[in-house]
């Protein structure tokens, strides 16, 4: 398991919990989770399920609802929503800037020339970017 994964999930679902090794895996999950700092007072729980037998599904649904209530009451929902749109706007801005700077074949040629100059150490990358922006009449 990746350490980063432990910091992403809000709820861990151990499905097929009736299989051999499930107890050991649950112990390992709890051990790894004990090393992760809780986010906004939320400690990600481990819920055991056996989906084919509909076992543990009620506990999972209750835990999801508990998390939803916690998430909304902590103000994190609005914060996450705003963060989502911030990154979405940045992506759109990036696309528009690239369109303005590199529009058409001439823009690609300028980019190629700048890349060659930077590769040959005739120009530093920051100056090259400034010149590309200036050539596209993009306000700095």
pLDDT (tens digit, 9 = 90+) per residue, 92-125? 999 998 988 888 888 889 999 999 999 999 999 9
The reported pLDDT for the residue numbered 86 is 94
Average model confidence (pLDDT) for the chain?
Answer: 88
Q: Does residue 89 have a pLDDT over 80?
A: yes
Distance (Å, whole) CA 138 – CA 140:
6
- 40 or 16, which is more confident: 16
Both ends of the chain: CA-CA distance in Å? 44
Quick one: 133 exposed, middle or buried, by C-beta within 10 A (0-12, 13-18, 19+)? middle
Q: Where along the chain do its domains lie?
A: 3-74, 86-135
Distance (Å, whole) CA 47 – CA 12:
6
Quick one: 14 exposed, middle or buried, by C-beta within 10 A (0-12, 13-18, 19+)? middle
DSSP lists the bridge partners of residue 7 as none
Q: Does residue 85 have a pLDDT over 90?
A: yes
Exposure string of 28-37, with b = 16+ CB inside 10 Å and e = fewer, is ebeeebeeee
Distance (Å, whole) CA 52 – CA 136:
59
Q: Does residue 76 have a pLDDT over 80?
A: no
Q: Does residue 2 have a pLDDT over 60?
A: no
Which residues 6+ apart lie within 8 Å of 134 measured at CB? Answer: 140
The encoded tokens of residue 133 equal 């922006």
The encoded tokens of residue 10 equal 């809000």
Q: What is residue 13's DSSP assignment?
A: E
Per-residue pLDDT reduced to its tens digit, 34-54: 887 777 788 899 999 999 999
């Amino acid at each position: 398991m990746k350490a980063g994964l432990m910091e992403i999930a809000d709820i861990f679902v151990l499905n097929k919990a009736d299989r051999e090794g499930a107890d050991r895996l649950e112990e390992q999950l709890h051990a790894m989770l004990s090393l992760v700092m809780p986010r906004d007072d939320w400690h990600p729980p481990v819920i055991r399920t056996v989906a084919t037998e509909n076992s543990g599904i009620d506990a999972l649904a209750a835990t999801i609802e508990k998390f939803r209530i916690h998430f909304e009451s902590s103000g994190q929902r609005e914060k996450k929503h705003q963060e989502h749109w911030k990154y979405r706007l940045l992506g759109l801005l990036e696309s528009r800037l690239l369109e303005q700077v590199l529009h058409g074949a001439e823009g690609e040629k300028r980019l190629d020339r700048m890349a060659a100059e930077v590769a040959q150490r005739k120009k530093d990358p920051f100056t090259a970017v400034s010149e590309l922006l200036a050539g596209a009449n993009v306000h700095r």
